[in-house]
Each structure stands twice: as structure tokens, then as C-alpha cells.
Structure 1
Amino acid sequence: MKRIVFSAAVCIAMLSGCGAKEEAAPVKAETKTEAKAPEAKPATKAEAKPKAEPAAKEVAPDSKGTVEEGGFKKYRGAEWKDDFKGLVTKINGVSVAQDLEKVNPKYNSQVDGKNQGIFVWFTLENTSAKKFTTWPSQAKLVLEDGTQIDADIIGSADVGGEIVGKAKKDGDVMFRFTSKEDVRNIKSIRLNWEAFDENFAKKDYDVTLPLK
């Protein structure tokens, strides 16, 4: 009987101890941390970009018409072309000078008194395998008033002679003369020369060029 009472007392004591220990665990208060906004960086001035310079306008070269240059009056529109069995002959322009000594002192008029000049730019091209002989550098030039002028062989480029397969020559043929008229007022010129192929077939050139 005593054991039963003692056991009951022990059980009561144990239960009361457990009750004292079981207290509600303290609830931790949630702490909210406010998100800090990123610090605004001081505004920086945009770097000034160098202004692009306007592109230079390209002036198309004027392949025609008339131009005054270096003491010459140049007629770049005075052009002509012919094909004689593969020998292509071109005139690419005409230049005139009223005073040759001003253009170049080597043209001394004291030698022959001829101080006016006309220069005709020729191009000769053999596009065949044949052989041709032609002499633009020995051409004759006729003015509007009928004056006939022989080419100045010494003052002209070596444009002519034999031209053998696929060869090409070009240069100015010079005509020197003296006239009371201003050579820059000439309106047209007429040119005569000839060419032969390897079989002696002949070609007579008779070309009139307006100067404008």
C-alpha cells in the first residue's frame, strides 16, 4: 500500500515538473529590412562628338567643251575616230596658242617668225596582227581662209611610221604659222594624211573638225 502511494506521489511530482518547463517559446519578431535604392550617380555630360565636315563635292571632269589653260585654248570636244582594217586612229582634242613663246620659250619665233600654233592630239592603235604605215605627224592642215600648213615634224611627237601588230602610239602633232587673225577665233580645221596596210592598200584621211 505504501508502495502505491509513493509511486503515485512520484508521478504527480514528475508531471508538475514537466508542466513548469513547457512554456511557449518566445516568438521572434520579424524585422523587415528596407531595400535601399541604388544611389543615383551624378549625371555626366555627354562627350561632345566632333562634327563631321561635309564631304567635298566631286566635280565631274568636263571631257567636252573649251577651256583656257597654260596659254592654250583647248577644244576637248574636237574628237574623231576611224578604223582602217584594224588600224584605229583617233583625234582626242585640239589646242591652239596665240603666242607660242609665252607657252614655251623653246618656240622662238625669231627663227622663222611663226609664233602661232595648233596642236592636234592623235592616238594610233593597231588592233590586228597586220602591219600598217601612216604619218599623221606629216599631215597638212587647212584653215578656214584656205591657208595650208604643214606639220612641224621637229615640234611634233613621234606619231606615225610603221605600226606592227597590237602596237599603240599617241601624242600631239604641231602646226606652226603666223597670221594677222587671232588663232583662238578659228571655227574649224581640216586635216589630210594617209595610211597603207601591208598589202599597200591605201587610206586617204580627210577630216574636218569644228572647234567649239
Structure 2
Amino acid sequence: MKKTLSLTVAAIAAISLLAGCGADKTAIKDETPTQAKVESQPAKETKAAEPATTKEGAAPVEAEKKPDDIWTYYNDAKWTDTWNGVTSTIEKVVVTDRAPKDGNTNDLTASAVGVKFKVENTTKKLFTTYPDQAELITSTGEQVQADMVTSDHIGGEIEEGVIKDGNIIWFLKRGHAADIKWIKMKWYVIEGNGMEPTQDKKEYSVKLELK
């Protein structure tokens, strides 16, 4: 299930593969996805989020191997929830043990987890959210912050009718991304500019089963 990346691909381009666009050599493909289960775990004192429907207990489907792609895909690792008119969506999860280490394309030994994320404000109100600063917890004992350099900047204020989407990347300290069975993301959405302590706040803690 591992996929490899040509050494000629730049480090930032390699990490931005989650966008699913661009040249065939670097684009994420959705065919033959790896099966995944989804479980949503809301933070304390918050309304439980409704997980997306997935097939429980199905055997993983081995993704097609391409020599120019570093990622292993979990296209069925999906989740979505709407709070006060703001819809947050995780569209897919990918992992790799062949990311460029410290941006060095000649050293493909770093491990990383990526998530394709979308947030949409369907109201006429202002909201604030920072999924691009989300904390990631993994079944392999990692607890890391999103990498601000390689992740898309989709956080901050989101005005009425605005849709933000992009890729969030975490680099692992212990490696072994291929061994991850589940991940958990933690972030929040605030009604308003996020500067007032009395503003309504939704805290998310979403667990996605990959294997």
C-alpha cells in the first residue's frame, strides 16, 4: 500500500498532493480507495457530531501502487458536522513514510499524516475556526501540532457564504505512519471574531478509524 515519490518532485509540491489536482504525477487519485471506519468523539460538554456513513468491518482494499506518489489513501475516512450553520468536513486521510525530511527531496524518510479539510459558512454571520492548527493524536502514540509551513492556511475568520478548503499536514516524531490504525483531530469553531469570552464555541474531537 506504500506509494513512492520521484526525487525530482519538490518538497512542498509533494506535501500539497492532498489537493487532488495538478499533474497526473502528483495528483491524489480517488479510485480503489482504502476502506476506513469513522467514529466521532465530541469534546466534553458539546453536542455529539454526526459521523458520515461508512461500511463497518469491511476488509481494507489495497490502493493502486504508483511509483510517483508517496501517499497511502483512506478515501473512506470521512466525517462531517454542521454547527450553527458552519459545516466542517474531513474528505479523506492519507499517510506516508516517504515524505521529504526537513524539505530535503534526497532524504525521503519522514513520516506524515494528511487530511483534506473543508469548512463552509452557510450563514450571514461571522465565525472563526483554526482546523489548520488542529492537534493530531494517533494510535501509535503521537500527539503533534499541524505543520504550518506545508499546511494550507484555511484558519481564521470565515465570512458569510465563504468556503475554505485545503490540506492539513502533520509530521510524526516516531515515524511508522503505515502502522496507524486511527487518528483523532481536535479543533474548534467560534461564533464571531473569537475575541470575546462570551461567544458561542464548538469544540471538536473527531476520531477516524483507518484500519
Q: State how far apart, in whole Å, the 2-side matches of 1:61 and 1:155 are.
A: 25
Match of 2:203 in 1: 204
Is the contact made by 2:186 and 2:203 (CA closer than 8 Å) also made in structure 1?
A: yes
Match of 2:16 in 1: none
Is the contact made by 1:114 and 1:178 (CA closer than 8 Å) also made in structure 2?
A: no
Give the partner amino acid of 2:131.
P
1:145 is displaced (CA, Å) by 3.7
Q: 1:126 to 1:191 in 2, by over 3 A?
A: same
Q: State how far apart, in whole Å, the 2-side matches of 1:139 and 1:122 are.
A: 11
Give the partner amino acid of 2:202.
K
Match of 1:71 in 2: 70
Report which stretch shifted further, 151-160 or 114-123.
Answer: 114-123
Q: 1:178 to 1:167 in 2, by over 3 A?
A: same
Aligned counterpart for 1:184 among listed residues 168, 174, 178? 178
Q: 1:147 to 1:130 in 2, by over 3 A?
A: same
1:108 and 2:104 correspond: yes
Report which stretch shifted further, 149-158 or 114-123.
Answer: 114-123
- What RMSD in Å do the two structures reach over aligned CA positions? 2.7
| Residues 11-160 of structure 1 mapped to structure 2, 5 A cutoff | 61-62=31-32, 65=35, 67=63, 68-69=65-66, 70-101=69-100, 107-108=103-104, 115-160=110-155
Q: State how far apart, in whole Å, the 1-side matches of 2:91 and 2:129 are.
A: 17
Q: Percent identity of the aligned residues?
A: 30
- 1:168-189 residue CA offsets vs partner (Å, 9 max, x unmatched): 0101100012325x21121100
What stretches of structure 1 of length at least 5 have no aligned partner?
Answer: 1-59
Q: 1:96 to 1:203 in 2, by over 3 A?
A: same
Is the contact made by 1:114 and 1:176 (CA closer than 8 Å) also made in structure 2?
A: no
Q: State how far apart, in whole Å, the 2-side matches of 1:114 and 1:171 are.
A: 24
Q: State how far apart, in whole Å, the 1-side matches of 2:109 and 2:132 are.
A: 18
Is the contact made by 1:141 and 1:150 (CA closer than 8 Å) also made in structure 2?
A: yes
TM-score (normalised: structure 2): 0.63
Number of residue equivalences: 148
Is the contact made by 1:78 and 1:93 (CA closer than 8 Å) also made in structure 2?
A: yes
Partner-residue secondary structure (3-state), 2:178: helix
What stretches of structure 2 of length at least 5 have no aligned partner?
Answer: 1-29, 36-60, 193-197
Q: State how far apart, in whole Å, the 2-side matches of 1:146 and 1:183 are.
A: 11
Is the contact made by 2:134 and 2:186 (CA closer than 8 Å) also made in structure 1?
A: yes
Partner-residue secondary structure (3-state), 2:150: coil
Give the partner amino acid of 1:83.
T
Q: State how far apart, in whole Å, the 1-side matches of 2:106 and 2:33 are.
A: 36
TM-score (normalised: structure 1): 0.63
Higher helix share: 1
Give the partner amino acid of 1:120.
V
Partner-residue secondary structure (3-state), 1:99: strand
Partner-residue secondary structure (3-state), 1:128: coil
1:115 is displaced (CA, Å) by 1.3
Partner-residue secondary structure (3-state), 1:98: strand
1:109 is displaced (CA, Å) by 8.5
1:97 is displaced (CA, Å) by 1.0
